[in-house]
C-alpha cells in the first residue's frame, strides 16, 4: 500500500514565485519517493477560512499525510488536531502552528524568520556605517512569518544607537501594486531615508518600483526579502543591495520527505531549519547561490 501514498501539500497561496518553488521541491520529492502529491492552496491568498476548509476536506477524504503552511498560528490548530485524531500525520512548513512539533504534528520545516530579519537588519546597518534614517515597510496585518522578520529586523537595528527608524507603521498590502502605492505615499520619507527594508517578495518589488520611479533606486541602501527574477535583476544592477533568501525548493522537498519518512515508520527531528542566506552582488556568482536562485 506504500506505493500509492497520497500527500496533500497546502501552501498559503499559489501565485508567488516562492510557492512555485515550494511546489517544485515537493513534486521532486514526490517523484523520488514514489508518492502522489496533491497541491492545493486557497484561491484568495491569505484567506484563513478557505485554508481551513481545504485541510478539512483532505482530512475528510483520508489522504495519507498533509503538508501545511498555515496562514494562521492558532486558527489552523483545530483542523490539524482533527487530522491527528484521524491518524493523518501533518508536517508544518514555512510558518509556525500552535502546539508542539513532534507531538501535535510531526515536524516544523521552516526558515528561521527572525534570524532572517536580523540578518537583513545587520547588513543594512553595516551598509549605512551604523548611522542614518531607515524606513521599514511592513507586509500585512496578521501575517506571522513576515511579522517575525520585521521584529528581527527592528531588534538588530535598535542595537545601533544612531540609526533611526522613521517609518514603521505602514503596510504594503498583499500585492505588488498596492505595495507600490503605499511606498509612493511615503515618498517624502523615502527621500530623506538612507536605508530601506521590506519583509517579502511583493513588498520588496513594490518598493523597488517606487524607488525607480523617483530616481532613488541605487541611491538609498535597500535590503529586501525573498527572491524572484526581477529582484535578482535589480540586485545585479545595484538597485537592491541585498536580499535575504530562503530556500523554498528545499523547504518543499524536506517537508514531503519528512512526512513520507514518518509514514514509512522512521523518526524525524521536530524542527528542521532550511536556512536563510544573504545574497549580495558579491556572492551572486557563487555556484551554491546560483543553484538556489535557479540561475544558469
Question: Interface with another protein by CB under 8 A: which residues?
Answer: 14-17, 20, 38-41, 43-49, 52-54, 56-57, 60-61, 72-75, 77-78, 82, 140-142, 169-171, 174-177, 180-182, 184-188, 205, 209, 213-214, 228-230, 233
Number of Cβ within a 10 Å radius of residue 67: 31
Nearer to another protein among residue 144 and residue 271 (C-beta): 144
Q: Grid cell 551604523 — which residue?
A: 130
C-alpha cell at 205: 518589488
- Report, in Å, the least distance between residue 5 CB and another protein: 15
Nearer to another protein among residue 77 and residue 271 (C-beta): 77
Tell me the C-alpha to C-alpha distance, in Å, between residue 107 and each of 31, 99, 260.
21, 11, 12
- Report, in Å, the least distance between residue 259 CB and another protein: 18
Question: CA 112 to CA 106: how far, in whole Å?
Answer: 18
- Report, in Å, the least distance between residue 269 CB and another protein: 27
- Report, in Å, the least distance between residue 8 CB and another protein: 10
Question: CA 254 to CA 257: how far, in whole Å?
Answer: 5
Nearer to another protein among residue 53 and residue 291 (C-beta): 53
Question: CA 248 to CA 257: how far, in whole Å?
Answer: 14
Nearer to another protein among residue 48 and residue 261 (C-beta): 48
Nearer to another protein among residue 82 and residue 278 (C-beta): 82
- Report, in Å, the least distance between residue 256 CB and another protein: 17
Give the residue ranges of DSSP H helices in the chain: 17-33, 48-61, 77-85, 113-128, 144-158, 176-185, 187-192, 201-213, 229-237, 248-263, 287-293
Question: CA 74 to CA 77: how far, in whole Å?
Answer: 5
- Report, in Å, the least distance between residue 272 CB and another protein: 25
Nearer to another protein among residue 220 and residue 272 (C-beta): 220
Amino acid at each position: 500500500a506504500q506505493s500509492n501514498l497520497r500527500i496533500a501539500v497546502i501552501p498559503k497561496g499559489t501565485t508567488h514565485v516562492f510557492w512555485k518553488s515550494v511546489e517544485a521541491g515537493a513534486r521532486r520529492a514526490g517523484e523520488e519517493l514514489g508518492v502522489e502529491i496533491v497541491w492545493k492552496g486557497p484561491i484568495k491568498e491569505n484567506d484563513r477560512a478557505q485554508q481551513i476548509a481545504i485541510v478539512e476536506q483532505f482530512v475528510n477524504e483520508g489522504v495519507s499525510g498533509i503538508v501545511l503552511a498555515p496562514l494562521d498560528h492558532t486558527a489552523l490548530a483545530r483542523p490539524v488536531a482533527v487530522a491527528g485524531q484521524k491518524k493523518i500525520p501533518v508536517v508544518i512548513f514555512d510558518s509556525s502552528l500552535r502546539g508542539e512539533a513532534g507531538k501535535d504534528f510531526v515536524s516544523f520545516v521552516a526558515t528561521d524568520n527572525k534570524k532572517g530579519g536580523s540578518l537583513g537588519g545587520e547588513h543594512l546597518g553595516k551598509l549605512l556605517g551604523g548611522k542614518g534614517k531607515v524606513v521599514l515597510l511592513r507586509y500585512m496585518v496578521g501575517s506571522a512569518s513576515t511579522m517575525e522578520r520585521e521584529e528581527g529586523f527592528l531588534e538588530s537595528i535598535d542595537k545601533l544607537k544612531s540609526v533611526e527608524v522613521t517609518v514603521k507603521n505602514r503596510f504594503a498590502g498583499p500585492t505588488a501594486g498596492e505595495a507600490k502605492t503605499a511606498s509612493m505615499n511615503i515618498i517624502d520619507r523615502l527621500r530623506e531615508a538612507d536605508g530601506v527594508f521590506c519583509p517579502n517578495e511583493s513588498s520588496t518589488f513594490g518598493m523597488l518600483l517606487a524607488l525607480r520611479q523617483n530616481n532613488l533606486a541605487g541611491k538609498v541602501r535597500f535590503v529586501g526579502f525573498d527572491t524572484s527574477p526581477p529582484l535578482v535583476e535589480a540586485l545585479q544592477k545595484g538597485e537592491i543591495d541585498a536580499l535575504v533568501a530562503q530556500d523554498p525548493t528545499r523547504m518543499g522537498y524536506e517537508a514531503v520527505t519528512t512526512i513520507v519518512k514518518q509514514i514509512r515508520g522512521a523518526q524525524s527531528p521536530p524542527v528542521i531549519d532550511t536556512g536563510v542566506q544573504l545574497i549580495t552582488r558579491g556572492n551572486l556568482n557563487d555556484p551554491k547561490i546560483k543553484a538556489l536562485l535557479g540561475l544558469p
